[in-house]
Amino acid sequence: MNATLTGIKQRFGIIGNSKLLNDAIDIAMQVAPTDLSVLVTGGSGVGKENFAKIIHFQSKRKHNDFIAVNCGAIPDGTIDSELFGHEKGAFTGAVDQRKGYFEVANNGTIFLDEVGELPMSTQARLLRVLEAGEFIKVGSSKVQKVNIRIVAATNLDIPKAIKMGKFREDLYYRLNTIPIKVPSLRERKEDIYLLFRKFSIDLAEKYRMPPLRLDDESKEILENYRWPGNIRQLKNIAEQISVIEENRLVTRNQLLKYLPEASSSNLPVIIGVNENEHESFEGSEWKKEREILYKALFDMKKELGDLKGVVAELVRNRGNVGDTEKAYQRLHLNSDVAPTQDHPTFPMKVNPNFEQDANQDDFDESHEVVEESLSLAEREKEFIIKALEKHRGRRKNAAKELGISERTLYRKIKEYNIQQ
| Per-residue pLDDT, 275 | 39
- Domain boundaries for CATH 1.10.10 within the chain: 376-416
Q: Would you tell me how many other CB atoms lie within 10 Å of the CB of residue 46?
A: 27
Contacts of 228 (CB under 8 A, 6+ apart): 43
Tell me which of 3.90.1300.10, 1.10.8.60, 3.40.50.10710, 1.10.760.10 is the CATH number of domain 186-256.
Answer: 1.10.8.60
In angstroms, what CA-CA distances link 378 with 33, 276, 374? 70, 36, 8
Rounded mean pLDDT, 207-231: 93
Residue 284 binned pLDDT confidence (cut-offs 50, 70, 90): low
pLDDT, tens digit, 9 for 90 and up, residues 232-241: 999 999 999 9
Mutual angle of helices 321-332 and 281-317, in 10-degree steps: 150
User: How high does pLDDT run on average in the chain?
Assistant: 82
**What does the pLDDT average to over 114-129?**
96
Distance (Å) of CA 245 to CA 145, 225, 232, 259: 56, 20, 20, 14
Residue 319: pLDDT band by 50, 70, 90 thresholds?
low
Ranges for all domains in the chain classified under CATH 1.10.8.60: 186-256
Cβ atoms of 116 and 167 within 8 Å: the answer is: yes
**From CA 418, how far away is CA 411, in angstroms rounded?**
11
Q: What is the CATH number of domain 5-183?
A: 3.40.50.300
For residue 121, name the pLDDT band (cuts at 50, 70, 90).
very high
Report which of 197, 204, 244 is spatially closest to residue 223, judged by C-alpha positions. Answer: 197
What is the predicted pLDDT for the residue at 334? 44
Kindly report, residue by residue over 122-171, the tens digit of the pLDDT.
999 999 999 999 999 999 999 999 999 999 999 999 999 999 999 999 99
Question: Which residue would you say has higher pLDDT here, 305 or 328?
Answer: 305
Across 103-117, 128-142, 304-318, 402-416, least confident range: 304-318
What is the rounded CA–CA span in Å between residue 248 and residue 238?
12
Q: Is the pLDDT of residue 363 over 50?
A: no
Angstrom distance (rounded) from CA 416 to CA 400 = 19
Number of helices followed by number of strands (H, E) in the chain: 17, 9
pLDDT tens digits for 17-32?
Answer: 999 999 999 999 999 9
Q: CA-CA distance, 328 to 246, in Å (whole number)? A: 75
| pLDDT above 60 (res 365) | no
Query: How many angstroms from the chain centroid is the CA of residue 38?
Result: 25
The CATH 3.40.50.300 portion of the chain extends over 5-183
**Residues in contact with 39: Cβ distance below 8 Å, sequence separation at least 6, in sequence order:** 115, 152, 153, 154, 172, 175, 176, 177, 178, 179, 180
pLDDT (0 to 100) of residue 337? 42
| Domain range 376-416, CATH class | mainly alpha
Q: Which of 8-17, 251-260, 350-359 has the lowest mean pLDDT?
A: 350-359
As a whole number of angstroms, the distance between CA 150 and CA 55 comes to 10
Q: Which of 18-22, 268-272, 322-326 has the highest mean pLDDT?
A: 18-22
Residues of the chain with pLDDT > 90, as a percent, come to 57
Q: pLDDT higher for 393 or 194? A: 194
Q: Count the residues in the chain.
A: 420
Tell me, what's the pLDDT at 274?
Answer: 45
Identity at 311, one-letter amino acid code: V
Higher model confidence: residue 227 or residue 368? Answer: 227
Q: Is the model more confident about 399 or about 244?
A: 244
Q: Is 72 helix (H, G, I), strand (E, B) or coil?
A: helix
Q: Note the pLDDT of residue 262.
A: 55
pLDDT at 405: 84
